[in-house]
Copies of this chain bind each other. A is one copy, B any other.
Amino acid sequence: MTPLNNTFKALSDPSRRKILQLLRTQDMTAGEIANHFSISKPSISHHLSILKQADLVQDEREGQNIIYSLNTSVLDDLITWFLDLTDTSGKENS
């Protein structure tokens, strides 16, 4: 399983993309993130775990809280993937 596959799978869910958008502005605890959704805390925890596996977010415990933050390095890889796709310099027809 290519590493990018995890990333795309992670991005395929709207809740997970919303989480990334939330973290764009500021780091947040799991609870704060969950407050922005109507689904249960365990579900959010599950989404966070998938985002973590995909290396799209990082987490760090601070007392009772676990603070999540965006990890932009993998996103850079994705942008490269897309730019590569839209770079039609190797295209033969049309």
Contact = CB atoms under 8 A, between A and B. Distances in A.
Chain A contact residues, majority secondary structure: helix
Contact of A78 (B69, B76, B82): B82
Contacts of A2: 14
B14 A11 contact: no
Interface in A54-90: 69-70, 72, 75-76, 78-79, 82-86, 88, 90
Copy number in the complex reads 2
A19 to B, nearest CB: 11
Interface of A: 2, 5, 8-9, 11-12, 14, 17, 20-21, 24-27, 69-70, 72, 75-76, 78-79, 82-86, 88, 90-94
